[in-house]
Structures are given as structure tokens and as C-alpha cells.
Amino acid sequence: MIEKRKISQVRERLQELDAVSNATMTIRANGLGSFFPLDGFGGAFTDAMAYNFDRLDEATRDTFIEAHFGATGLGYTMGRVPMGASDFSRMDYVLLNRTDDLELTSFCLRDDSAAPVACGTDYKTKPILAAQAALRANSQPALRLFTSAWSPPIWMKDQWMSCSAADGLARCHANASAPPLVECTATVVTPCNDNTIGSRCPQSDGSVFNDPQYVGPGRGHDTEAWAEGLLRHNADGNCYNTGMLSGNVSKQQAWADLYVRFLDAYADLGIPMWGLTVQNEPLTQTGLWNGMFFTPELQASFVKNALGPALRKAYPNVKIMVHDDATNELTNFANRVLNDPEASQYVDGVAYHWYTHFEGLYENDAGGPALGPVSEWLNIPAVGGGAQVRTVGAQHPDKFFLMTEACNGFALGTSMASSAE
């Protein structure tokens, strides 16, 4: 049990840090050696971004594009585009309108602007086209876009899983002998506009966040029962939010082909893709937003047998990135995928996120608790983690490494002290 006095001391220290407005940081650059190249900076073209961009007047849109992609702006040259719904979408949706459509005849490019929406409606393309034009006008490099998927159609997923806990989150593997972890009974069926920060859009049969028994993620939980209970309760019947890629070969091929159809649809609009990640966060799921689990063996199998061949045939220059999750599992997950030579031949790079490490990376640190044993009790992420990037990079020098997601804060106005409370 952690003493209340120690918790009070931690809270007081965090309040002091929040109060510092003139803090400075010293950055020391080592110019004696070369490590990873910097290919560019950018942001994500999500449904949420497009929804807000669409509501701006023309002058404000122009200001926004100039601030990020123009001659006087940040110099962004990269962008991430979700394929289907993400945790920055107002409803659940996918790009196929029919179940078991292995031939993809019901493919429909769409967004979250309405429940029934005309195929071809995707307001993410508006800011992307504007960004492309701004870069061209200033003779800048072409916009490098990569896509990531959060969840395929539910029928492409299996719910027969066994799970364990790691870093306060559930991680799962296929278990054909187990009963379905989640029965698919719910979905977010219409765009949700009025939910507040910290609440989820209501599902067809209710919202988990309104349940006083909500099982939140937390460090220190390490039991199978807790992990499976977390997913079962939080998904609350919504199989968009959990499950593994089906072991069925035909369904895996259809999922790979859907990536190609998405690239086709964007290319037809004048938006070529530079790359893709195999799956957004295949490890760290909570069941609260669209997601799908992969084991490293499953990801390697999918890449070498379905996605890699399909993409190399249709778009041989589009980059394939594996992992696309936090750094703490790079040496385990990414390494195991890349150590499969049949999969590795299709892989160009490794994608990673900055979560679980205090929303930042210190390249010379292997990672560890920020405040010792107090960290787990307060659910404070570790610090460090950059050493894993360097380690895996040294083992696979033919692959590039790209940080593909870094949300700065999880709630508006949330201070470090209030998070501790």
C-alpha cells in the first residue's frame, strides 16, 4: 500500500510542474555520427480533422493549410489517412456494404458524415487535396501519405481468443477451442456529435463509459481474467472494437485486396499513397474503439501470404510498415515479424507510437517507471523507450523507422496533477 503522504508529495510536485510557464529545455545534438534519417513531419487526416475543416469558412481553411503546408508554415510533408473508421470517427463504418463479400463488389469509399452516405463521399480528401496544392505551389516535395486500418468488416475477424494483460492493457492470441470472447450485438450506427470528452458515442444497446462498473485500463493488472474481462465489458457487444484477423485464408486475402481497392480509390481522386501500415496498434487494445489484434506470427503470415504479394503486384513502390504500436514491444513483436524472411522481403519499414512512455521518447534510455513504484498505482506511463528503436534498427539496417502516431494529451484541459488524481 502506498502511503497517502507520498501520494500527496507526488501531487504537489506535479502541481508545481503545471505551474511552470517559463520552463526551458536544453537539447544537446551529437553531430559526430549518423543515425536515422528524418524524412519529414506531418499529421493525421482523420474524420475528426476533416469534419472540423469542413465547417471552417474559406479564409480560415486557407489559413489552416498555409500554417501547416504553406511557405510560411510548419513545413509538413507527410500525413496519415485512416482506412475506414478510427478512434477519431463519430461512428463505426467500413468500406464494404455486404457481409462475406470476398470479391469486394460492394466496395464503397466513405466517411462518418452520415449513416447512409453516397459511395465516394470522403471529406478527408478535401484537406489532403488542399495540402497537395500548397506544397506544389511552393515547389516542395510531394505529400507523402500512408494509410492505416483500425478494423476490417466484422465478418473478417475472429472473436475466439485468449488474452493476458501487459502494461495495463489486454493482449490476445487466437484460441479456437475457447468460446467467443465477445458476442457481436452492438455498433455505433449514426454519427455522434454531442458526446463530451471522456465519454464514448452511444452504441445501439448502450454506452460502456456510463456504466459505473467500467473496467478502465491500469498498470499492475496481470491476470488473464482481468484482460478478458476488460475487453468483454468495454467492447460491450461491439466487435468493431475487438477481435483478431480471421484465420480463414479467403478472408485474409479479401482484407489485403481491400487495401489495394482503397489505394485505387484515392489514386483515382489524384491522391497517391506513399505507404501503409499493416494494422494500427495490433497489441495494445482496450475495447473502447475500433481495433484488431495481431500476434507477430499472424502479422508475418498475413504479410507474406496475402498483403505483400497483393500490394507488390498492384503498387510495387508503396511502402509496407509493420508494428505500428508502442515502443516497449518493438524488440519482441517487430523483431519476430522481421525475423521471418518470407515476410521481411515485403516489409520496408517499422512504424511506432510514443504511448506508454510519458508521451515522448528519450533515445538513450531503455524505458522505466517515471516515479518508481508510485507510477503503477497512479497509472503513470514509463519514460524512455528510444533504446528499443535503436536496438531493432541496428538488427535490421535495411528497414526504416517512422513514428506514425503521437497524440499530445488524451483530454482537453487535463493537467498532470489532475491526471494523477
Where is pLDDT greater, at 207 or 174?
174
Residue 33: predicted pLDDT: 76
- The Cβ of residue 124 has, within 10 Å, a number of other Cβ atoms equal to 25
Q: Where are the alpha helices (DSSP H) in 104-190?
A: 125-137
Residue 390 lies in a domain: yes
Global pTM reads 0.86
Query: Residue range 363-387: average pLDDT?
Result: 55
In a domain, 332, yes or no: yes
**CA 109 to mean position of chain CA atoms:** 20
237 located within any domain: no
Lowest mean pLDDT among 103-107, 166-170, 284-288: 166-170
For residue 306, give its domain range.
37-156+246-420
Q: Which of 134-148, 166-180, 407-421 has the least mean pLDDT?
A: 407-421
The cell numbers describing 72, all together, are: 510560411
Q: Is the pLDDT of residue 156 over 60?
A: yes
* Residue 14 counted as domain residue: no
Q: What is the CATH number of the domain that holds 114?
A: 3.20.20.80
Between 381 and 41, name the one with better pLDDT. Answer: 41
Tell me the mean pLDDT in the region 162-171: 79
DSSP label of 200 = P
How far is Cα 309 from Cα 305, in angstroms, rounded to an integer? 7
* Residue 143 placed within a domain: yes
Higher pLDDT, 420 or 369: 369
Residue 295's alpha-carbon distances to 116, 161, 317, in angstroms, are 34, 11, 26
Report the SS3 class of residue 338.
helix
Instruction: Identify whether the C-beta of residue 263 lies closer than 8 Å to the C-beta of residue 318.
Output: yes
Residue 20 has pLDDT above 90, yes or no: no
How many domains would you assign to the chain? 1
What tens digit of pLDDT does each residue of 64-92 get? 999 999 999 999 999 999 999 999 999 99
In a domain, 12, yes or no: no
Segment 243-263 mean pLDDT: 98
- For residue 88, tell me if it sits in a domain: yes
pLDDT digits 0-9 by tens, 214-224: 555 554 555 77
Contact call for residues 101 and 63 (beta carbons, < 8 A): no
| Residue 175 burial (CB count, 10 A) | 14
pLDDT at 110 over 70: yes
Q: How far apart are CA 23 and CA 39, in angstroms?
A: 29
